[in-house]
């Protein structure tokens, strides 16, 4: 890349107990990869211990967790807690990075908003710049449907819903994965704008 088009690194850190949120995470990364000059990395929280260095070098980190009992899963929360010692205490290393979030759950609401709010606050504690979903709500009129982009009507981040009797081969549905790809692309674009600004 030229000096005016720096490479932008987008990391997607996620937990998924049964594979559904992993599908959403893969879609976020795929969306980010559509932006020229973007390198993406998918990091399951189980691998986070080996990935603190990668996260330090990322321009943007997208955080994703399934909603379990009205908040991020315990495994994702453990990753968040570990970041206090690994990131905050060692020099506020994520300050001024781009951040965004996503969550998947069994119910259409399922209280995913609580998870997204928690993730946004977590990013704020790290001094990161939050990127919202940037889509109008959909599936909210007589002509709307579950095939709509942002069918669940989130603003803060990307939501997905996976029927609890379906595996990750079919859930969440394509509309939620397209919504996740949109978020990834938006994050990569914003990260690219920030990176160009730093060059200037
Ligand atoms: C311990 C536990 C708690 C859950 N709590 C919620 C919840 O609060 N709201 C909801 O809609 N679904 C809830 N679910 C359903 C999951 O969010 C849903 O199955 C999701 O697709 C799981 O994602 P995963 O396969 O990435 O783990 C819960 C599932 C588990 C296992």
Q: Using one digit for the tens of pLDDT, what is the confidence trace for 83-104? A: 999 999 999 999 999 999 999 9
**What average pLDDT score do residues 2-14 get?**
84
SS3 192: helix
What are phi and psi for residue 14, nearest 5 degrees? -150, 160
Who has greater pLDDT, 1 or 175?
Answer: 175
Is the torsion defined by CA of 81, 85, 88, 94 positive or negative?
Answer: negative
Mean pLDDT, rounded, for 56-75: 98
Ligand 1 centre and the CA of 138: distance in Å? 23
**Residues 107-145, buried b or exposed e (16+ Cβ, 10 A)?**
eeebebbbbbebbbebbeebebbebbbebeebbeeeeee
Give yes or no for residue 71 having a pLDDT over 90: yes
Q: Quote the pLDDT of residue 4.
A: 59
Q: Which helix (H) or strand (E) holds 124?
A: helix 112-125
Answer whether 106's CB lies under 8 Å from 161's CB. Answer: yes
Ligand 1 atom closest to Cα of 161? 21
- Residues touching ligand 1 (Cβ under 6 Å) are 16-21, 66-70, 104-107, 110-111, 162, 164
Q: What band does 37 get if pLDDT is binned at 50, 70 and 90?
A: very high
* Contacts of 114-119 spanning 24+ positions with Cβ under 8 A: 114/67, 114/70, 114/71, 115/65, 115/67, 115/70, 115/71, 115/72, 116/154, 116/156, 116/157, 116/159, 117/156, 118/71, 118/72, 119/63, 119/65, 119/72, 119/157
Q: Output the residue whose Cα is nearest ligand 1's atom 8.
A: 69
Distance 166 CA to ligand 1 centre (A): 12
Mean pLDDT of the chain: 96
The Cα–Cα gap between 30 and 45 comes to: 19
How many angstroms separate the alpha carbon of residue 128 from the centre of ligand 1? 27
What is the pLDDT averaged over residues 175-195?
A: 98
Sequence-ordered list of residues with C-beta below 8 angstroms from that of 74, at least 6 positions apart, any chain: 68
Does the complex come out with an ipTM higher than 0.95? yes
Question: Ligand 1: which atom is nearest the Cα of residue 15?
Answer: 26
Residue 8 has pLDDT above 60, yes or no: yes
How far, in Å, is the centroid of ligand 1 from the Cα of 105? 5
pLDDT above 60 (res 1): no
Average pLDDT rounded to a whole number, residues 151-167: 98
Q: Please provide the distance, in angstroms rounded to a whole number, between the alpha carbons at the two ends of the chain.
A: 15
- CATH classification of 8-199 is 3.40.50.360, yes or no? yes
Q: Where are the domains of the chain?
A: 8-199
Ligand 1 atom closest to the Cα of residue 162 is 21
The confidence score (pLDDT) of residue 3 equals: 54
**Ligand 1: nearest atom to the Cα of 107:** 11
Identify which of 96, 83, 102, 136 has the alpha carbon closest to the alpha carbon of residue 32.
Answer: 102
Q: How far is the CA of 99 from the centre of ligand 1 (A)?
A: 23
């Amino acid at each position: 890349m030229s000096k005016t088009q720096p490479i932008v690194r987008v990391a997607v850190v996620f937990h998924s107990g049964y594979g559904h949120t992993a599908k959403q995470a893969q879609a976020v990364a795929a969306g980010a990869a559509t932006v020229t000059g973007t390198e993406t990395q998918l990091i399951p929280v189980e691998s986070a211990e080996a990935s603190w260095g990668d996260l330090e070098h990322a321009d943007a980190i997208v955080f994703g967790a399934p909603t379990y009992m009205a908040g991020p899963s315990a495994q994702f929360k453990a990753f968040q807690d570990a970041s206090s010692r690994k990131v905050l205490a060692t020099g506020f290393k994520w300050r001024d990075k781009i951040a965004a979030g996503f969550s998947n759950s069994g119910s259409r609401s399922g209280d995913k908003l609580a998870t997204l709010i928690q993730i946004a606050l977590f990013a704020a504690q790290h001094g990161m710049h939050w990127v919202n979903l940037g889509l109008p709500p959909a599936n909210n009129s007589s002509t709307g449907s579950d095939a709509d982009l942002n069918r669940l009507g989130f603003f803060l981040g990307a939501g997905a819903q996976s029927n609890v009797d379906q595996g990750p081969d079919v859930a969440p549905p394509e509309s939620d994965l397209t919504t996740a790809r949109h978020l990834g692309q938006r994050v990569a674009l914003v990260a690219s704008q920030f990176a160009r600004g730093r060059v200037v």
